Amino acid sequence: MEIRLTRVEGMEPVAVLAVIGNVDAAHYQDLIAKAKEAYDGGLRRMVIDLKGTTYLSSSGLVALHSIALLFRGHEPLDSDQGWASLHAVSSGLGDTPEKNVKLLDPQPNVAKVLERSGMTAYFEVYTDLQKAVEAF
C-alpha cells in the first residue's frame, strides 16, 4: 500500500490522504499513522482519496473509523483489542455524518464494502476533490 499526504487550501486547509493498493490487516495501521501525522501537523479536516484503493478489509474499516475519531480529537481505536475494535466501529458510527473526514471516489468494490458496513451513512462520499474540499 502506498499513502500520499498532501495539503489543499480551502476555507480551511485540508489534508488529502491518497491511498493506493490494499487496506488490510498488514497496512491499516500505516494509514492511521499517516492521518495522525496530518493531525499532529495542525490539520483538522481530511479527505481520504480511495480511487486507487483496490481492497478494503474489516481492518480498513477500523482505520477509517479511527481516523474519524482522531479528527474529532479522540484517541483512535486500540488495534490490540482485535474484534472489539471492529464491533466499536459498528456501535460508534452514530446517526449523523462525520464532519471532519470525507471520502473521495471509491472504486466499485470498495464502495460496496462501505455501503454494506454502513459507512456511507457516516461518511460523505464525493467524486470530485474540489467539491469535497468546499464541503467543509
Is the pLDDT reported for residue 123 higher than 70? yes
Q: 10 Å Cβ neighbour count for 92? A: 13
pLDDT digits over 23-81, tens only? Answer: 999 999 999 999 999 999 999 999 999 999 999 999 999 999 999 999 999 887 666 65
pTM: 0.89
The CATH number of the domain holding residue 48 is 3.30.750.24
Number of compact structural domains in the chain: 1
Domain that includes residue 93, residue range:
2-134
Q: 10 Å Cβ neighbour count for 11? A: 10
